């Protein structure tokens, strides 16, 4: 038997390596059991004050209360959300860096930006579907239509005569209207603005005739009679506008859906046990009366679901918006 020093050292190395490998699952298990033990960073890929930021801060506050850890909302704007999203995609997959994504960053950007620096399906692990914000199609009262069917008929008979506003090229309002155009065959002229607020101002003034945007942006003008609501974009009617039908109801279109939506994702490779903990806590937060009230103020509808269901929805939304962007020749600002 060779008992040389070299042989003994080799045996020690082999034994030490085996012990280290055996300890890895225990270390991972310990990390999962103690999660979260330090502050969580929730990246918002836009400036403060918008719906994505508001929802992220609301969720962050609920998680902080439930777990007694800090949840730091980090605004990283730029490139339609791509800068912040890429930063999360490249972060360590340990559950301490998350992204508050939305329809733009997770479903629209892949078709809007030819060289997107991340892949929503490959670079992220779905965590929780937070909420949907339905869009509502509103008209200036002088437009010759009082319901969606009459509006579509008029637009078909007068191609290019009606102007629709949006918050900019590639915005949710731009895409929702292009989707309606594609599904109904109508022709409308796009007038992009730098934000939703000026688009609403010009619609009320009669400079444009149509706007398909989030309910909170126009609910006041609808209630005051300055604008006329024809239809909402989701599968169900909106509590704030109970008499306004869905597009599906008004036109008999199957599976028409053009909501804005929001959800949390983590870097790919985040342990499943940590994802499950996050999902359970976020879903519990979405059921709290306080958060429901805050969501309602944003015109949002909570959507608690499993990570798997949210991942399937992201994939379906990418497929939904790709032909819309191509058909409308939508370009990012």
Instruction: Please report, for the chain, the start and end positions of each structural domain, with discontinuous segments joined by +.
Output: 39-132+260-327, 135-251
Mean pLDDT confidence for 233-247:
91
pTM score: 0.81
The reply to whether 135-251 shares the fold of 39-132+260-327 is: yes
DSSP 245: P
Q: Would you state the pLDDT for residue 201?
A: 95
Q: Which CATH architecture has domain 39-132+260-327?
A: 3-Layer(aba) Sandwich (3.40)
- Classify 230 as helix, strand or coil: strand
Kindly state which CATH superfamily the domain 135-251 is placed in: Periplasmic binding protein-like II (3.40.190.10)
DSSP letters of 82-151? Answer: HHHHHHHHTS-SSSSEEEEEEHIIIIIHHHH-TT-SS-TTTSEEEEEEEEEE-EEEEE-TTSS-SSHHHH
Q: Would you state the pLDDT for residue 20?
A: 60
Q: Would you state the pLDDT for residue 289?
A: 86
pLDDT in tens, 224-236: 999 999 999 998 8
The answer on pLDDT for 17 being more than 80 is no
Q: Would you state the pLDDT for residue 49?
A: 82
Q: Using an 8 Å Cβ cutoff, are 240 and 215 in contact? A: yes
Q: Would you state the pLDDT for residue 1?
A: 47
CA-to-CA dists, residue 328 to 183, 289, 321, 323, angstroms: 12, 41, 10, 8
pLDDT in tens, 102-126: 999 999 999 999 899 999 999 999 9
Directed axis angle between helix 172-184 and helix 148-157, to 10°? 80
pLDDT in tens, 36-52: 999 999 999 988 887 88
The answer on pLDDT for 164 being more than 90 is yes
pLDDT in tens, 59-90: 999 999 999 999 999 999 988 899 999 999 99
């Amino acid at each position: 038997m060779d008992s040389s020093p070299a042989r003994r050292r080799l045996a020690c190395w082999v034994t030490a390596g085996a012990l280290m490998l055996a300890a890895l699952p225990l270390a991972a298990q310990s990390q999962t059991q103690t999660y979260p033990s330090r502050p969580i960073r929730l990246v918002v890929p836009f400036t403060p004050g918008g719906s994505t930021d508001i929802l992220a801060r609301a969720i962050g506050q609920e998680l902080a209360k439930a777990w007694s850890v800090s949840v730091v909302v980090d605004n990283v704007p730029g490139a339609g959300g791509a800068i912040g999203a890429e930063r999360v995609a490249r972060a360590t997959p340990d559950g301490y860096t998350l992204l508050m994504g939305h329809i733009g960053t997770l479903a629209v950007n892949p078709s809007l930006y030819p060289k997107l620096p991340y892949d929503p399906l490959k670079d992220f692990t779905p965590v929780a579907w937070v909420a949907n914000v339905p869009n509502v199609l509103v008209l200036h009262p002088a437009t010759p239509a009082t319901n969606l069917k009459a509006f579509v008929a008029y637009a078909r008979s007068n191609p290019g005569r009606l102007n629709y506003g949006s918050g900019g090229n590639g915005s949710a309002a731009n895409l929702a209207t292009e989707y309606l155009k594609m599904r109904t065959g109508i022709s409308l002229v796009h007038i992009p603005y730098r934000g939703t607020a000026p688009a609403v101002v010009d619609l009320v003034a009669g400079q444009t005739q149509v706007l398909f945007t989030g309910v909170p942006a126009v609910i006041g003008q609808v209630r005051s009679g300055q604008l006329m609501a024809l239809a909402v974009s989701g599968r169900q009617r909106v509590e704030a506008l109970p008499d306004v039908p869905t597009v599906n109801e008004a036109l008999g279109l199957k599976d028409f859906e053009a909501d804005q939506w929001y959800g949390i994702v983590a870097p790919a490779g985040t342990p499943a046990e940590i994802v499950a903990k996050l999902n359970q806590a976020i879903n519990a937060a979405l059921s709290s009366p306080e958060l429901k009230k805050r969501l309602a103020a944003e015109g949002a509808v909570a959507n608690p679901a499993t990570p798997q269901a949210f991942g399937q929805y992201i994939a379906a939304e990418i497929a939904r918006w790709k032909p819309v962007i191509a058909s409308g020749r939508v370009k990012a600002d």
